[in-house]
Chains A and B, each alone.
Chain A
Amino acid sequence: MELVVFVIASAMVLVGALGVVVRSNPVHAALSLVLTLFGIAVHFVAMEAHFLAAVQIIVYAGAIVVLFLFVIMLLGVDKSEDLSIEPFPIQRPLAVVIGASLAALVIAAAVRASDRLPEGTPLEADGDSNIELLAQNLFSDYVFAFEFTSVLLIVAVAGTVMLTRKEKKGGDS
């Protein structure tokens, strides 16, 4: 059963990832990204990370992709671009070679290390215990970093407002 879930979710992830890269229409690329994000959420559920699966759906699929689609519609760039134009002829083969060697390198490292990974005691996974464990960890060991993310979000919001505000006529911005 777990094997079936893994295979289906992995197919979703890989098809979506390839779709982001090869689709010429940005809207289709964004929808392929949703497919990938849902597949990864399924993997999170399969690994008992229930809270992260929910956050993945809400934050990524619900907020980030919607933001992408909103910007695509706002700017009116929802037309297919011509992918056959290639300013640097060497770029695509080189990128594929670099990507394939990157994948080969990381996969080789993961497979080599597979029998040397230390096996820990499994995390409790009944009911809400995943959220409880995560909350205890987040609000004890990482509470400073957690508070600091609020500063990060404020800075991001203020910076975006400054960046995208239209300048008033007359120059007094």
Chain B
Amino acid sequence: MLLAAVEPTATWYLVLAALVFAIGSVGLMVRRNPLVMFMCIELMLNAVNLTFVALATRFGNIDGQTAVFFVMVVAAAEVVVGLGIIISVLRRRPGATADDLAELKG
């Protein structure tokens, strides 16, 4: 079978990652719920992770996978701090949207 012989190349993964990154950025611009905006940031981080691994495989260089490891650590820390901020905002003002975060200004 001819189709089975086609192997996905690094470019395919880069195109997929570009699409996911664009979807995540549109979501970040469109949605107003801070939790969903956070999920869109995770989408964008994962798109970048995909490019790192695709190019690490293509170049035969493990450094890209190490970078993904650090991205995951930073993403975990970022989610913890971000959700802490969201909890303290939403506890004070239930149903707050991203627009209401302007009230954080002193």
Q: Determine if chain A interacts with chain B.
A: yes
Kindly list chain B residues whose C-beta atoms are within 8 Å of the C-beta of A43. 13, 16, 50, 53
Identify the interface centre among B20, B50, B55, B91: most chain A CB within 10 Å of its CB. B20
Kindly list chain A residues whose C-beta atoms are within 8 Å of the C-beta of B86. 71
Main secondary structure of the interface of B (DSSP, over half): helix
When each residue 69-107 of chain A gets 1 if its CB lies under 8 Å from chain B and 0 otherwise, what string results? Answer: 001101111000100000100011011101110110011
Q: Which of B16, B25, B38, B99 contacts A10 (CB 8 A)?
A: B16
The chain B residues found within 8 Å of chain A, CB to CB, are: 3-4, 6-16, 18-27, 29-33, 35-36, 38-40, 42-43, 46, 49-50, 53-63, 65-66, 68-70, 72-81, 83-88, 90-91, 94-95, 99
B84 touches A160 (CB 8 A): yes
Report how far A59 CA is from B38 CA in the complex, Å. 16
User: Known: A14-B19, A37-B46, A120-B59. Contact between A137 and B66, CB under 8 A?
Assistant: yes
Which B-chain residue is minimally distant from A102 (CB atoms)? B22
B49 touches A40 (CB 8 A): yes
Residues of A141-166 whose CB lies within 8 A of B: 141-142, 145, 149, 152-153, 155-157, 159-160, 163-164
Kindly list chain B residues whose C-beta atoms are within 8 Å of the C-beta of A92. 30
A21 touches B40 (CB 8 A): yes
B12 touches A64 (CB 8 A): no
Kindly list chain A residues whose C-beta atoms are within 8 Å of the C-beta of B74. 149, 152
Main secondary structure of the interface of A (DSSP, over half): helix
User: Known: A43-B50, A157-B80. Contact between A3 and B3, CB under 8 A?
Assistant: yes
Kindly list chain B residues whose C-beta atoms are within 8 Å of the C-beta of A117. 10-11, 55, 58-59
Kindly list chain B residues whose C-beta atoms are within 8 Å of the C-beta of A123. 56-57, 60, 62
Report how far A20 CA is from B6 CA in the complex, Å. 31
Kindly list chain A residues whose C-beta atoms are within 8 Å of the C-beta of B13. 43, 47
